Amino acid sequence: MVSWKFVTGVIAAAAAVVSAAPLEKRIVSGKNFDHFMVIVLENEDYAAVMADSYFSTVAAKHNGNLLTNYQAITHPSQPNYIAMIGGSTLGFSRLELFIIKSNFFSKSIVDILEPAGITWKEYAENYTQGSNGACNTATSLSNSLYMRKHNPFISFTTVTSNASRCKNIVPATQLQTDINSGSVPQFMFYTPNMNDDGHDTSLSTASKWTKGFLEPLLSNTAFNKNLAVLITWDETKDYDIPNQVWSVLVGSSVKALANNTDNTAYNHYSILATVEENWSLGNLGQGDVSATPFNI
Ligand SMILES: *[C@@H]1O[C@H](CO)[C@@H](O)[C@H](O)[C@H]1NC(C)=O
Ligand SMILES: *[C@@H]1O[C@H](CO)[C@@H](O)[C@H](O)[C@H]1NC(C)=O
Ligand SMILES: *[C@@H]1O[C@H](CO)[C@@H](O)[C@H](O)[C@H]1NC(C)=O
Ligand SMILES: CC(=O)N[C@H]1CO[C@H](CO)[C@@H](O)[C@@H]1O
């Protein structure tokens, strides 16, 4: 169902009578939320994250839920990202060097969001677009902060062969612009850079970054409206233990369970299942079919 919501524009001139037309924003109302943001951090074991003073308190602080039984799909990083939006690792697992250059002709979340009129963007820190918003398919950029393997959309030819879809893969600085103009998309996938996500740094760097990024967003009542945010890790650091990753759901749409804890079995395919259920989108016929949608 498509409805129209109106975000009142800011009237800058108080004295003069100006006709401030409201900024109109097309929204497809979801059953439980209207906006969903996924933030993916890198390579930590569940127990290590639980020992961090910020992460261990964030569910209770924002009356969300810690997800105590959430499994990543595989190792190494990249197929987990592919799985989150494609519903499958598309046949690859520990072949990182090969996968970095991968191009999959396969459907992704984009192909079920767009027909329903649900807007989406990939916000990738330190990514730069090609001219006219073209997809930049480089494996990495000279800043050493952006890596293609953490931006799953760029690996789907169903995205990269389409100029208008490429425009939705944007540098992360665009988020503030979109917030300011009241035009954030309904599905947001946020990829922090190689330092902020902990990959090239440490858990404490990822913790400081997440706090500095998330807290202002959640305090922004316009942004944090009918919103659910998933913070998750791509995979565990230790490949020899079960691939259980620390994840949390926060945001104004999330209904807190007892002790701010949700023990339901989830995995990365639950991201797709959640989006599909909330907006009645059908499915990709992949791992999303049997995955459990999050309690939101
Ligand atoms: C990398 O991206 C972050 C987040 O968008 C930004 O704050 C920072 O200035 C960028 N760094 C470089 C070197 O471009
Ligand atoms: C390209 O993307 C646009 C929207 O992003 C969509 O409407 C259109 O159907 C796509 N074209 C193809 C050939 O998939
Ligand atoms: C509450 O949740 C924490 C994890 O956040 C857990 O360690 C603790 O055992 C739980 N307490 C109860 C009473 O369930
Ligand atoms: C994932 C999600 O949001 N699920 C909810 C979708 O809406 C129905 C109600 O129509 C809820 O029962 C689900 O929990």
Identify which of 182, 154, 147, 149 has the alpha carbon closest to the alpha carbon of residue 168. Answer: 154
Does a structural domain hold residue 220? Answer: yes
- Average pLDDT rounded to a whole number, residues 172-187: 97
Does a structural domain hold residue 72? Answer: yes
Backbone φ and ψ of 27, nearest 5°: -125, 135
Identify which of 42, 97, 64 has the alpha carbon closest to the alpha carbon of residue 224. Answer: 64
Residue 242 has pLDDT above 90, yes or no: yes
d(CA 286, CA 146): 28
Q: Whose CA is nearest to atom 8 of ligand 3?
A: 259
Better-scored residue on pLDDT, 22 or 174: 174
Kind of pairing, strands 227-233 and 23-28?
unpaired
Q: What is the pLDDT of residue 104?
A: 85
121 CB within 6 A, ligand 2:
no
Q: Whose CA is nearest to atom 13 of ligand 2?
A: 162
Q: What is the pLDDT of residues 131-157, one digit of tens each?
A: 999 999 999 998 999 999 999 999 999
In contact, 209 and 196? CB cutoff 8 Å: yes
- Average pLDDT rounded to a whole number, residues 17-39: 73
Ligand nearest to the CA of 213: 1
Does a structural domain hold residue 21? Answer: no
Domain of residue 265, CATH code: 3.40.720.10
Does a structural domain hold residue 249? Answer: yes
278 CB within 6 A, ligand 4:
yes
SS3 166: helix
For the chain, what is the mean pLDDT?
90
Q: Which of 200, 234, 262, 288 is flagged as catalytic?
A: 200
Does a structural domain hold residue 285? Answer: no
Sign of CA dihedral 48, 71, 294, 205: positive
- Average pLDDT rounded to a whole number, residues 222-245: 97
Computed on alpha carbons and rounded to an integer, the radius of gyration of the chain in Å comes to 19
Range of the domain at 42: 27-279
Residue 8 has pLDDT above 50, yes or no: no
- Average pLDDT rounded to a whole number, residues 37-65: 98
Catalytic (active site) residue 262: no
Best of 164, 169, 187 for a ligand 2 pocket test (most atoms within 8 Å of beta carbon)? 164
d(CA 296, CA 289): 18
Does a structural domain hold residue 3? Answer: no
Q: How far is CA 66 from the centre of its chain?
A: 17
SS3 274: helix
Number of domains the chain contains: 1
What is the pTM for the complete model shown?
0.90
When pLDDT is cut at 50, 70 and 90, the band that residue 26 belongs to is confident
Backbone φ and ψ of 87, nearest 5°: 80, 5
Best of 173, 176, 196, 210 for a ligand 1 pocket test (most atoms within 8 Å of beta carbon)? 173
